Structure 1
């Protein structure tokens, strides 16, 4: 690693000071609102029949449907184990994009797909 290189691959090292500060503030805001897949899976395991993991991810309509149907009599809950991780990534991606857009930061689209 050369002097001046950032140890973090997404760090805005080449930006001017005020722009770097804006990006760092946006990253901090994102860190405070992003969802953790471990928490989502733990909620699925404990209160999955009641849609607890869906409430955590902000899927209020689906959460209420799961609450009143007991997770589709358990079928919906069992199937959700395959979709929780993907839903967490989707929620995090949209939250990050909203934060960056609100601050006027344009991100590399190819990095977002990974």
Structure 2
């Protein structure tokens, strides 16, 4: 597996930063769109957003909503890590293809 150069790693970090969701927007959505779990849709978690909406009917959803206030930063970090891994895998695969083609 090809190792990435410092320049490639910097490019990945720049792309991850550009693609990252805003914590401020996520918290505003959490505050103002809580009935429709807007923050979870924004953070790319539509499945749990729908589950959260449905759980409001049995009151557990309100507890879940409060806990989400503490989880938002972790959800953003998870999204950044997934994007970082995706980009690194893509660049490594691209370098491996070039190495095989050159051989």
Q: TM-score, normalised by structure 2?
A: 0.67
* Pairing partner for 1:50 from 36, 43, 56: 36
* Structure 2 residue 67 is the aligned partner of structure 1 residue 79: yes
Q: After the TM superposition, which residues 1-114 of structure 1 pair with which residues of structure 2 at under 5 Å, given as runs?
A: 20=7, 22-23=8-9, 25-70=11-56, 72-104=60-92
CA drift at 1:24: 5.1
**Structure 1: gaps spanning 5 or more residues:** 1-14, 106-114
Q: Which has the higher contact order (CA 8 A, sep 6+)?
A: 2
Take 1:35 and 1:76, find their aligned partners in 2: how far apart are those partners?
21
User: Aligned-residue CA RMSD in angstroms?
Assistant: 2.5
Give the structure with the larger helix fraction.
2
